[in-house]
Structure formats: C-alpha cells, structure tokens
Amino acid sequence: MDARAIAELLARCQAGDKTAWDTLVDAYWQRLFGYALRATGNAELAQDLVQETFLRIVQRLGRYDDQGKFEAWLFRILGNLVRDHGRSLARHPTQSTVIESDGERMEMTDELAGKGPTPFEPIHQREEVDALQSALRKLPEADRQILLLRHFADMPFKDIARTLNCPIGTVLARAHRALGKLRGLMEVGHDPSEPD
C-alpha cells in the first residue's frame, strides 16, 4: 500500500470509518503477525502482541499526524512490545494462576505456553524452526530486529531505516553482518554426520 493510500485510510479511520479501520488491519495483520511470531516463537503470544499494537494505534490515532511514517510507527510499537515482553519474561519465567473453590485457595504455576512444538507440525520442520528461533535469539537485539523486519515482516530497507531511525547504509551493513552471524549459528547447530 502506497503512502497516499495509507494517508487516506488513516484520515477515514480518524473520522470514525469502521470499514477503513478493517482495511487497515487487514493490510498489516499478516506482516505484523509474521514479525511477532518469529520474534517470540509463540503463535498465541504473537497474536496478542499484534492485537495490543492495534489497540495502541486506536488509542493514539486521534492525535496521529501522518507524515508518511505510519508503517515505521506501527512496527516500532510492535517491536517495543516484543522487547518489553522479552524483558518481562526474563524477570518472570513462569505464570501463576490462583484458583479459589469452596473457600480454599490454590496457586498453580506453569511454564508459559508456546515453548513446545505443536502436534500438527512435522518433526523435521519443528526442528528447523526451533533451530532458527534459537539462532535468532542468540543474535544481538539490533541485528535480530533488522532480520525480523526484513525477512518476516517483508519491509524494504528504506522503511527499516525509518523505523529504527538509522541511516540506510547502517541498516544494510547490519543486515549483511546479521545474516552472516545467523548462518554461522545455524551451521554450528547442524550435525555434519547427519545426511541432508
């Protein structure tokens, strides 16, 4: 969607046009979800983070002045939510639920959902995805963010530069370096004795 079409949609959204809002959500949902899924490795959490992103857009849309930077703003909000969740998870790796019944109170603590594979994925595909997720997590935050925006959110480098407030040359250099690091991490995780 070009900048002019986005500006028109945003103006209609600010005027309360629900159809325009649905069109805006439809235009970005898959790309945002792809980014969040690869960043978190958890489909349910990714969906929650995308919904939270759109909620924040709704809350701020009345004050938003479009200057052709909507997509950068959208992905910056999601990137911040992903980063905040990662920090929170590092501090609180389990989730507790308190159940009260007949005057008794019981607390149940479970690992957060989404760490394990789903039963519907083929085993080799799960292993490849797990290896990629593990390698991505080992990258520095800036490198990981560029790769996620480029390859999982399908964002052009000039838009990544705008989103991250970096010169495009810096983004291109980081992307090249990050891909090299990712390849190295993936090769280290590959057992050369196993057939391809």
**pLDDT digit string (tens) for 51-69?**
999 989 888 888 888 777 8
The pTM assigned to this predicted structure is 0.57
CB 114 within 8 A of CB 44: yes
Which run of H or of E encompasses 78?
Answer: helix 70-91
pLDDT in tens, 73-98: 888 899 889 888 776 655 544 444 44
φ/ψ bin of 64: left (φ > 0), alpha (ψ from -120 to 50), beta (otherwise): beta
| Region 117-196: CATH code | 1.10.10.10
Mean pLDDT score of the chain: 76
81 Cβ contact partners less than 8 Å away, ≥ 6 residues apart? 49, 52, 53
pLDDT at site 67: 79
Phi, psi of 129 (to 5 degrees): -65, -45
| Region 1-90: CATH code | 1.10.1740.10
pLDDT in tens, 139-176: 888 888 888 888 877 788 888 888 888 888 888 888 88
Q: How do the domains of the chain map onto residue ranges?
A: 1-90, 117-196
Distance CA 161, CA 165 (A): 6
Angle between helix axes 70-91 and 157-164 (nearest 10 degrees) is 60
